[in-house]
Amino acid sequence: MSEYISEKPSEPAIEPDPYAVANGYIIPDAEEKAAEPAASAVSDDAGYAGSDGSYGADENYAYAGGGGNYGGGDGGYGNYGESPYGQPEHTFRKREKTPMQITKKAFVAILILCMLATSLLTMGGVALMGNYFYKPATDATNYTLTKSDETLSYKSIINKVDDTVVSITTEAVATDSWMRNYVTQGAGSGVIIQEDGYILTCNHVIEGATKITVTLNNQKTYDAALVGADPGNDLAVLKIDAKGLTAAQYGDSKELEVGDQVIAIGNPLGELSNTATTGIISALNRTLNIDGKELSLLQTDASINPGNSGGALFNASGNLIGIVVAKSTGSDVEGLGFAIPIDKGAKIAKELIENEDKEQTQEQQQSGNESGRPIIGIQLRDLSDEEAFMYGYAQGGIYIENVTSPNARAAGLQAGDRIVSIDGTNVASSTELKAALDEHKVGDKVKLVVIRGEEEVKVTVTLSAASE
């Protein structure tokens, strides 16, 4: 609503009329009124307009003074009667509104603030998107396998991966025949799989150790804690208190072919840290019995020596494709080294890290209880045809020696059953059966076909954890 100012004869200072204020009318103050010309008398006998309107000649024609009609506090019909002149007409002028103005300095300041806010929102959005969508290939818990056809020189591979391989030394307490305790020392290698200090190695390197020390390529040493172990697959994960380490990038060992170039890096003899040797993939899926455990391994002719166990086998792109586990021994045996395929190693490392339980004792961790590796819950024995005949069976194969888990018993498995297939895939050895189980997780149901006597029996078993 527009505001108006009443122009009228000079009058003494008075209180504003609430009605005028409520309706947007502003009465000039005393000083403004004094500067304005006085209104003329209504008639010849009206008298002079005094400040109080008391000099009117006729009481019916008195001008309104302090309490009169020309802007007095109460308005009305005048002080001395009800003359129609008690409500004189007013003239009004419109008060012009001053438009809001922004100075140059204020405009520049507002512009800068808007630019800063936009930059902050952009940076925050980029960070959020990066954290949400980007998962580094070196993250073991992400289990990302990198496929690459890039071929690097040996020198380039070593420069790329040398800092990912560590040396491991261990101490353990042993007892001699006189029941006296003494400290034994061991050595091996490991591979950094996460920049925050997770290291993958072989279980036999750290098994039974009371103290584990890790030495990086820059010669910094750290005490290591055992996160978890899977003795059945001869793998273990360690943790050191370090950040910003260089982690290996997983390759895809299923894409390997015989003849592919590889490079092994480790700590041979426990004294020659980060030694690199070169070779090729000599064979795939070699079955080897190590400490009573049958493992399906990669074979290489790269030079492998004691102390290399737990070290890395890289492909021509510098990606980790295996964990060195053993070499064939013998004075006349050379060029036979073996490694656990990283497809299996990465998956087991992921499970060990995710199932880490800091409240478990070292003895419990070394038993593999925390690995969460899926099992049927049976003890197996591979029999050749000759051995099977000796035990009274018709043919060789995978036989159940003992049923150890409640789930396997509930499914109806029995000692003496010969396992023929799992989920429709025929299996001829316990190694093949174990490889099939590695594709599952605890709680999965698998379908088995077994031969019991001359009868074919189909059973469904819920897989248990290795600790059960």
Residues involved in catalysis: 204, 234, 309
Smallest CA-to-CA distance from 66 within 48, 47, 49, 89 is with: 49
**Identity of the amino acid at 457:** V
Distances (CA, A) of 443 to 314, 372, 440: 34, 10, 9
Q: Where are the beta strands (DSSP E) in 176-311?
A: 181-194, 198-201, 211-215, 221-223, 225-230, 235-239, 261-266, 275-290, 293-300
CB–CB of 63/79 below 8 Å?
A: no
Smallest CA-to-CA distance from 431 within 232, 283, 295 is with: 295
**Identity of the amino acid at 438:** D
Query: What is the C-alpha separation between 324 and 349, in angstroms, rounded?
Result: 15
Smallest CA-to-CA distance from 172 within 204, 207, 205, 210 is with: 210
Smallest CA-to-CA distance from 161 within 374, 346, 312, 343 is with: 312
- Calculate the CA dihedral of residues 183, 187, 191, 192 and round it to 10 degrees: 40
**Identity of the amino acid at 312:** A
Does residue 57 come out as left (phi exceeding 0), alpha (psi in the -120 to 50 range) or beta? alpha
